[in-house]
A and B are shown apart, each in its own frame.
Chain A
């Protein structure tokens, strides 16, 4: 017998069960379900991004773990700071979805609502971060030792190295996540919060009262294998329930409406709970210099920007050690992400993956000595290149990406895979630039 005392615990539990049940429909998705359940327990929601990624459970796991770690676990920055930095990063790309998400989380962890009025209202320390945010988001090759120095310069508003590294990781994470959100077109409207490509129904449904005996058929035959497991038995009841439901509402449109309702319902309750939620407006209030955007790196190569040589500063050899030293364990988590995204089972050949990866890095000024960039042109069609570049460099939510013809016939999960590659390549590129600048600072 449990009479729940914690305010949140009970609805969460039922939600978890719900997710559990829903994804249990498909046996192979157990892993995803487990992840979603964890996500629900820790944050009370499974966002649309995770749902998009659900087609790659192996990757999703490391993604969620990283995200959870940098936003919620041990680290030098206070929780509201982290979400505010995430808001700043997402605002750089006008990503309403992420700004919305992190604003809500910002308030939930006790952030000062005033900050959400704009960058001017935020503490000066966070405002200082604006510059590196700008540079990293659009022209990461400009990141220089002097930026780091300016932030770490002793004074009232100075950052510590550990804080800065966490901030940089959050910035890079969110910038690249913007690319993914843009690539998957998750950003358009609230309804799409629950749009999922892989048939996983939306998970925002705080319902199911404690007893639930009012309308569940009482004579359900119990599958014998479930007897030993209490929870799974519970889910089996609801599985039947769910099946009925699915039969009833075959049409996709109906389902959508229902979801819309549920989502709205959720938003309502959210509003009730957090009355301060007034400020989900224009992301531009969190940024300065809105005109700054990506510029062709190649053209400026002649000027004075040195090409970034991976052989001289690579993630495996250098970036990892540095980031892990200043922000413990994050190196392993990020390493896991980079590793899993390249090893995901996919129809794309390893060569194609490498071409995509290196092309993004090339566009951002990072070169591999041991790569023949002619391959990029052979393997990537023009429109695919265009798509990759627009997703990686201009993930502006106000536009919609043109899905290239060469990707169109592919399964959605394959498209998502391309987007994941873009996201990770961009993440690594930003991290490399930022970490190299920090290394230079430490040596100087």
Chain B
């Protein structure tokens, strides 16, 4: 590579070597600078001003420039710079506003050379011209920049930024006459050193102060700026308008920025507060630092690359009173620890997932997307020097599209509008709602309604129909027909096998196969998301049967040992009843089934299968009609199931329709929760009427009171301007009628409408009539009233 060869020529025979090392300073450092041949470094701070020699494996203190018994504030340095042409020449910016130059060639102990006290405020930055020996530039808090000729006693020119404090000044590396200045108000200005009257160009680089700027050492057009807004920006200055070409977001305000030598896209930053690390960024990869140096314990105040052609050594000074030399090879590489997976939802429910290629490639199930190739592999080809490159990362991006229709909530709105929640006999309500659900292609919901009707209707009232023969064998045929369907869509033989295995075990263990089924079934559900009705719609009964089966098993063992006949019958039953929807409910079942089945099942455990009651005539407990309360636990679980699934509409609708039949079964808090969720949903869809109806029909006190809040309207008397406390139409204090209709001039008692613009109004009817004929206010105020 061309650049590599340049490095070797530049460094020549005196190639720099060294290792990561540090030394303790006596005091916090504010700035550091190296001399041209990279052999010495100067450290400056409020209470320190020393020169250290950089040796092979240590820093050696060479010179303490801070002399005198009680050093003046001139020694309190905000910034320091070592001249890059003249080895003996240093300049410091003092916090009291002085600009001081130091001549190391002086024989005396005090090396102070020149002292310029022209700035009124703290000088933030000094900068020597890169090629001109005697030219020094300073930027101060007072908003001025001054150019000094070191052969003269005073500044030769003063540049007024016309904005706030100057934070940084930097001579351009390539343009002899140009320098850049950054300001506390976020601006960056370009100046021609020959024209002190006006800046050449100004642009706003950051919000808040721009703490630092640095010209690219190779590319003449690039200027990097860092600001309090935690950003590093790279500007292309060659065009007419400064153009932002790169932007790096850091985690703390950026105090210093330095381009890395010989690396076109690398720069080093350190922070002013909170964050103590030094980062080296590849500006093309702004999301993760290329390298990090984490040695400092307090904020880093000064960073400088040791040699202007060597990218491997970085020097830094810090408030923690240490001076470090960092070797680039010792830097930590955050990218190694980074998590290469990413996950994000799109606006319309699309899911994007990026992961390492190796992780994804095994997944053979992925289908190419119909709308073209949606995989965007990102490759970074290895380059010769691996340490200088970001780790080879190749990720695959998958986008999972959701069917727009499945997300469409039309069904919700329609359902909400069409459902009948009251006003008709229970059975009709159920039928109606079942029909609504069926028409919206939600068979599971529809069937649930039908089931509810069957469960809770008084058998005597049941309207005979082809599907519901009113017989002793009541529900059995129905169940069978459902099961037939489900066998098709249900799970494979394998899981059923598992299930039957589990059955032969005792008590606790029989839940385990259920577990596996749950996971199995969940997967199934995901695939059929949105149309999972079929797979589910029998859960109530199926579960019931399982429940009974189990409870019967232990009941029988303890109390009804002599009872042998059912065994056979049950196994038979089971074959039919074992449908995929059952296990899903075992989940909830597990939590509360012990006592549920304990309570209910003891009495009625064997009832649901009517055929059974035929066999066991000896048991008087069982009546042909099932008590409605028998179904309550099931319905309760069904409701929670719907609510869990997100269909709170169903839960609430059933709750309202069933009313007293189920209310006692569900604790108030849950009910209230469902109600509020549903009402919230309805209001989001602006179904105000439905939401109001729901509020009205709810039996939760917390919900019904919603309709009673915010119903008070406080008004003041229009005469005496005092609040009217008792009645709305006559004022207690001035005894005058307050709310007078602007049309009929009578007091308004009842519905009162007024214009928000002019505050005139009156009887609703009167105003309505008035506005038919005129657009102006009936009070004659001339206002064009608007009523909506």
Contact = CB atoms under 8 A, between A and B. Distances in A.
B722 A311 contact: no
Interface string B710-728: 1111111111111110000
Q: Which of A208, A309, A321, A370 has the most CB of B within 10 A?
A: A370
B776 to A, nearest CB: 10
Contacts of A7: 710, 712, 714
A317 B227 CA distance: 10
A349 interface: no
A312 B47 CA distance: 11
A345 interface: no
Q: Which of A213, A214, A237, A439 has the most CB of B within 10 A?
A: A213
A443 B718 contact: no
Nearest to B140: A370
A250 interface: no
Contacts of A311: 46, 76, 78, 95, 122
Interface in A215-254: 215-216, 218-222, 227, 230-231, 233-234, 237
Contacts of B121: 370
A378 interface: no
A206 interface: yes
A214 B714 contact: no
Contacts of A265: 722
Given A208-B759, A210-B761, A321 B273 contact: yes
Interface string B86-119: 0000000011110000000000000000000001
A222 B780 CA distance: 11
A208 B711 CA distance: 20
Contact of A233 (B119, B228, B758): B758
A207 B716 contact: yes
A57 B95 CA distance: 35
Q: Which of B211, B252, B755 has the most CB of A within 10 A?
A: B755
B174 interface: no
B1 interface: no
Contact of A211 (B252, B274, B739): B739
A120 B716 CA distance: 42
A321 B738 CA distance: 57
Nearest to B142: A370
B784 A369 contact: no
Interface string A253-281: 00000000000010001000000000000
A81 interface: no
A11 B716 contact: yes
A211 B759 contact: yes
Nearest to A210: B754
Contacts of B95: 309, 311, 369-370
Q: Which of A205, A209, A230 has the most CB of B within 10 A?
A: A209
Contact of A213 (B228, B736, B759, B786): B759
A439 B96 CA distance: 25
Nearest to A207: B721
B609 interface: no
Contact of A208 (B97, B716, B760): B716
Contacts of B716: 11, 14, 206-209
Contacts of A318: 272-273
A230 B272 contact: no
Contacts of B320: 443
Contact of A215 (B28, B94, B714, B719): B719
A5 B76 CA distance: 66
B117 to A, nearest CB: 11
Nearest to A222: B782
A237 to B, nearest CB: 7
Contact of B759 (A11, A212, A221): A212
Interface in B199-231: 208-209, 211, 228
Contacts of B46: 309, 311-312
Contacts of A214: 718-719, 736, 738, 740
Interface of B is mostly: loop
Contacts, number: 166
A232 to B, nearest CB: 9
Contact of B272 (A3, A233, A321, A335): A321
Contacts of B758: 230, 233-234, 237
A269 B712 contact: no
Given A211-B740, A211-B760, A214-B738, A370 B718 contact: no
A6 B97 CA distance: 60
B715 A210 contact: yes
Nearest to A13: B756
A6 B752 CA distance: 16
Contact of B252 (A219, A237, A321): A321
A154 interface: no
A408 interface: no
Contact of A1 (B78, B253, B297, B788): B788
B304 to A, nearest CB: 20
Nearest to B786: A230
A10 interface: yes
A2 interface: yes
Contact of A10 (B76, B119, B713, B779): B713
Q: How large is the interface on A (under 10, 10 to 19, 20 to 34, 35 or more residues)?
A: 35 or more
A359 interface: no
Interface in A142-168: none
Nearest to A2: B756
A378 B208 CA distance: 34
B286 to A, nearest CB: 20
Contacts of B715: 10, 209-210
Contacts of A1: 753-755, 787-788
B472 interface: no
B624 to A, nearest CB: 54
A208 B738 CA distance: 11
Given A318-B272, A370-B95, A222 B738 contact: no
B759 A370 contact: no
A322 interface: yes
A209 B718 contact: yes
A320 interface: yes
Contact of B228 (A10, A237, A320): A320
B76 A213 contact: no
Contacts of A309: 46, 95
A408 to B, nearest CB: 31
B86 to A, nearest CB: 28
B141 interface: yes
Contacts of A347: none
B782 A220 contact: yes
Contacts of B762: 211
B486 interface: no
A269 B273 contact: no
Contacts of A369: 73, 76, 94-97, 122
A309 B740 CA distance: 69
A289 interface: no
Contact of B757 (A230, A316, A320, A442): A230
A322 B275 CA distance: 10
B759 A210 contact: yes
Contacts of B720: 207
A102 to B, nearest CB: 25
Given A311-B76, A318-B272, A219 B780 contact: yes
Contacts of A219: 780
Contacts of A213: 718, 740, 742, 759-760, 779, 781
A209 B76 contact: no
Nearest to B78: A311
A439 B723 CA distance: 53
12 contacts: A1-B753, A10-B715, A205-B721, A206-B723, A210-B739, A213-B779, A216-B781, A220-B781, A221-B782, A265-B722, A309-B95, A320-B228
Interface of B: 28, 46, 73, 76, 78, 94-97, 119-122, 141, 184, 208-209, 211, 228, 252-253, 272-274, 297-298, 320, 710-724, 736, 738-740, 742, 752-762, 779-784, 786-788
Nearest 7 pairs between A and B by C-beta?
Answer: A207-B721, A230-B757, A369-B95, A209-B718, A321-B273, A311-B95, A222-B782
